[in-house]
Amino acid sequence: MNQKSVDGATLEMLQVAKSQNIETVWDRWDKQQPQCGFGQLGVCCKICNMGPCRIDPFGGDLRQGACGADADTIVARNLVRMIAGGSAAHSDHGRDVVHTLHLAAEGQGGYAIKDPFKLRTLAAEFGIKTDGKSDADLARAVADFAGQMFGQQEGEIPFISRAPARRRELWRKLGIVPRGIDREIVEVMHRSTMGVDNDYKNILKQGMRAALADGWGGSMIATELQDVLFQSPKPIRSAVNLGVLRKDAVNIIVHGHEPVLSEMLVVASRDAELLAAAGRQGAAGINIAGICCTANEILMRHGIPVAGNFLQQELAVVTGAVDLMVVDVQCVMPSVNSLTGCYHTKLVTTSPKAKMPGVQHVAFEEARALDHAKEIVSLAVEAYSRRDPSKVHIPDGRSDMVAGFTTESVFQFLGGRFRGTYRPLNDAIIDGRLRGAVGIVGCNNPNVTHDSAHIALTRELLKHDVLIVTTGCAAIADAKCGLLRPEAAYEWAGAGLREICETVGIPPVLHVGACVDNSRILTTLIEIVSEGGLGDDFSKLPVAGSAPEWMSEKAIAIGFYFVASGVLTHFGTPHPVLGSPAVHEYITKEIEGQTGGRFLFEADPMKAAAQIIAHLDQKRADLKLAPAMYTPVESRQAQAATVGA
Ligand code: XCC
Ligand code: SF4
């Protein structure tokens, strides 16, 4: 492994960690080398106790597990179990939001309906009568309706009806319309247990069904209901990177995924009594900053700064300036437990689903949310009094950004305040000022130089007049190097994209939220198709998706719901499928004939960009659109390199 990161603040903190003999994820990852080849290729099976079994990828004698399962079956089973894990994570998050909406309807926990307009829009979509009903009544009805999508047994989950007619027909023909969210995840686990489904295509078909239940079910519910509860994001300025931590204030890091608690922490951090308590300890204030997708959630709605992305969670603690880290679910490294022990940092777990041995657990019950949030903030104030100034090292690195874009807000931006429309966006694609749009999403992984692939791919696509939408840790990576500032249009965008950004006043990279908000990318695609002029299905559009530095099972679930929705989806490192040439061939080629989407595995971001651009151009040609209006000017990028980070 050559360089660990392209982010200066990260490299600086890695030096600090080294000087203190602190191990990080990179060190532990190094110790794991070489990693197990059978696992990497997906040909290790341990789903029954006759195993573990493995297949010789080089065609030796080991062609079948003890039961007779071959590489195709084993690889497909392992892959769909990853989809199930990812879909379960997003969907269980969605379920908790439904629960919170119920509480808001009952006036409990300090929650309220902050976006009654969206509540009414959703209620109407669900066929709930809205006239004369109070927000509380509607919240109850909407929560009931959304909640039943999880346990639904037959038919189609309701959000499927949002998809274009042609897409729905195709899904029906393929037999992959989700019947109920939980049901599809359970069926993946059933079909992939010992001695059930041995037809890799049939296994993957169910995988797609579970992935669609995530994108068009659990994740979409999470996004929509969070908007209702916590209000729909609007473009908002904020700052990013470890430099947002403050020497003079109580620093609380919120880490994980669910905004249900962090929203209340934001409220508690502004509580007069707690601020006074912080003042008595000599602190100038209470500073909340986020890591991972909790960060994205409260950034989008409150402009709360982001301390970093996935691979920076340990380094935040190493600054010695984090007084308390509060975690809920997903992407929280177990290492933060022992690590916080080396500093004054107080670690608090909050979800009954995610505890750590020896760590204080504040059982977060939504019904008493504000009380719990205040308790956590006072623990942070108390920890601040134990902070050792000689151990504090906060890097300077921080960048400004604009976040908070949604399907609806882009709509308003483009069409003007009173008549929102996607017409200008579609027209820009049709006349070739925009070549197309690409969603760059997903994680960090020590197997890729931290942030490097996100940034390189984004810059290269911008140069070719491709509008970028981004979520998750990819968004944080791009934000750190200034790509989420409107000025980035001058520094990196091609002439056509720059024109649009100038006119509309937006950055060339639009931050649309957390990982569950990849559902916003689906709803944006719906708007583009229904606006007209670019074909009647997602698969016709000059668009693509990418997860250049993925690590989580959730990324696999997201990838599959995009591919099943007809979108070319790039992953930097391949899924663990190379042990089955058949599965690899199927998901990277053959599947396109069925869903219109396919996977592209390419580690080099420049090569990936070239293939994505070729794909966008092909889609343009298929639609009989003129070629992109401008050719990228190489010298502009060289010029910009002196400006950009
Ligand atoms: Fe980041 Fe969402 Fe990936 Fe986790 S999974 S590392 S994008 S925080 Ni969503
Ligand atoms: Fe081995 Fe088959 Fe059991 Fe898997 S299911 S562990 S391949 S015997």
Ligand nearest to the CA of 44: 2
Under the banding of pLDDT at 50, 70 and 90, the label for residue 410 is: confident
* Cβ–Cβ < 8 Å for 92, 222: no
Residue 109 beta carbon below 6 angstroms from any ligand 2 atom: no
> Whose structure tokens read 């500093």?
343
Q: Which two tokens stand for residue 183?
A: 């049901």
Question: Is the confidence at residue 413, as pLDDT, over 90?
Answer: no
Closest to 558 measured CA to CA, from 298, 321, 159, 210: 210
Under the banding of pLDDT at 50, 70 and 90, the label for residue 412 is: confident
94-108, 139-153, 360-374: least confidently modelled range: 360-374
Amino acid at 427: D
CA of 426 to the centre of ligand 1 (A): 30
Question: In the beta sheet, which residues pair with residue 240?
Answer: 306, 399
Question: Is the confidence at residue 634, as pLDDT, over 80?
Answer: no
Distance of alpha carbon 423 from its chain centroid, rounded? 27
Question: Is the confidence at residue 256, as pLDDT, over 50?
Answer: yes
In the prediction, which pLDDT does 420 show? 72
- Output the residue whose Cα is nearest ligand 1's atom 8: 292
Positive/negative CA dihedral, 15, 20, 23, 27: positive
Q: Which parts of 490-634 are beta strand (E)? A: 509-513, 543-547, 568-571, 599-601
- Output the residue whose Cα is nearest ligand 1's atom 9: 515
CB atoms within 10 A of CB 451: 26
Residue 51 beta carbon below 6 angstroms from any ligand 2 atom: yes
Residue 554 beta carbon below 6 angstroms from any ligand 1 atom: yes
Query: Ramachandran region of residue 505, left (φ > 0), alpha (ψ -120 to 50) or beta?
Result: left
Question: Is the confidence at residue 641, as pLDDT, over 60?
Answer: no
In the prediction, which pLDDT does 635 show? 43
What would the mean pLDDT of 318-339 be, rounded to a whole number?
A: 98
Span 42-67, pLDDT tens digits: 999 999 999 999 999 888 999 999 99
CA of 293 to the centre of ligand 1 (A): 6
* Cβ–Cβ < 8 Å for 286, 318: no
Span 559-571, pLDDT tens digits: 999 999 999 999 9
What would the mean pLDDT of 124-148 be, rounded to a whole number?
A: 97
- Output the residue whose Cα is nearest ligand 2's atom 6: 51
CA of 55 to the centre of ligand 2 (A): 11
Query: Ramachandran region of residue 282, left (φ > 0), alpha (ψ -120 to 50) or beta?
Result: left
Atom of ligand 1 nearest to the CA of 471: 7
- Output the residue whose Cα is nearest ligand 2's atom 2: 67
Question: Is the confidence at residue 136, as pLDDT, over 90?
Answer: yes
Atom of ligand 2 nearest to the CA of 66: 8
- Output the residue whose Cα is nearest ligand 2's atom 4: 45
In angstroms, the CA 217 to CA 94 distance is 9
Atom of ligand 2 nearest to the CA of 48: 3
Atom of ligand 2 nearest to the CA of 64: 7
CA of 553 to the centre of ligand 1 (A): 10
What would the mean pLDDT of 240-253 be, rounded to a whole number?
A: 98
Under the banding of pLDDT at 50, 70 and 90, the label for residue 645 is: very low
Mutate to test the pocket of ligand 2, among 43, 53, 54, 192 (most ligand atoms within 8 A of CB): 53
* Cβ–Cβ < 8 Å for 60, 68: no
Question: Is the confidence at residue 375, as pLDDT, over 80?
Answer: yes
* Cβ–Cβ < 8 Å for 603, 579: no
DSSP letter for 566, please: T
Ligand nearest to the CA of 328: 1
Span 181-231, pLDDT tens digits: 999 999 999 999 999 999 999 999 999 999 999 999 999 999 999 999 999
What would the mean pLDDT of 114-133 be, rounded to a whole number?
A: 97
In the prediction, which pLDDT does 415 show? 64
CB atoms within 10 A of CB 486: 16
What would the mean pLDDT of 420-438 be, rounded to a whole number?
A: 93
Atom of ligand 2 nearest to the CA of 195: 5
In angstroms, the CA 354 to CA 331 distance is 11
* Cβ–Cβ < 8 Å for 206, 188: yes
Q: Rounded mean pLDDT of the chain?
A: 95
Residue 410 beta carbon below 6 angstroms from any ligand 2 atom: no
Span 525-555, pLDDT tens digits: 999 999 999 999 999 999 999 999 999 999 9
Question: Is the confidence at residue 644, as pLDDT, over 50?
Answer: no
Atom of ligand 1 nearest to the CA of 442: 7
Residue 290 beta carbon below 6 angstroms from any ligand 1 atom: no
Question: Is the confidence at residue 638, as pLDDT, over 60?
Answer: no
In angstroms, the CA 76 to CA 549 distance is 22
Mutate to test the pocket of ligand 2, among 189, 194, 196, 203 (most ligand atoms within 8 A of CB): 194
Q: What is the dihedral of CA 244, 248, 253, 254, to 10 degrees?
A: -90
In the prediction, which pLDDT does 643 show? 44
Mutate to test the pocket of ligand 2, among 43, 45, 580 (most ligand atoms within 8 A of CB): 45
What would the mean pLDDT of 244-264 be, rounded to a whole number?
A: 95
Of the two residues 411 and 399, the one the predictor is more confident about is: 399
Atom of ligand 1 nearest to the CA of 330: 4
Closest to 344 measured CA to CA, from 306, 392, 300: 392
Closest to 407 measured CA to CA, from 298, 512, 497: 512
CA of 541 to the centre of ligand 2 (A): 42
| Bond before 259 cis per omega within 30 degrees | no
Atom of ligand 2 nearest to the CA of 46: 6
* Cβ–Cβ < 8 Å for 322, 254: no
> Whose structure tokens read 């692939």?
453
CB atoms within 10 A of CB 621: 12
In angstroms, the CA 392 to CA 414 distance is 45
Under the banding of pLDDT at 50, 70 and 90, the label for residue 409 is: confident
Span 488-498, pLDDT tens digits: 999 999 999 99
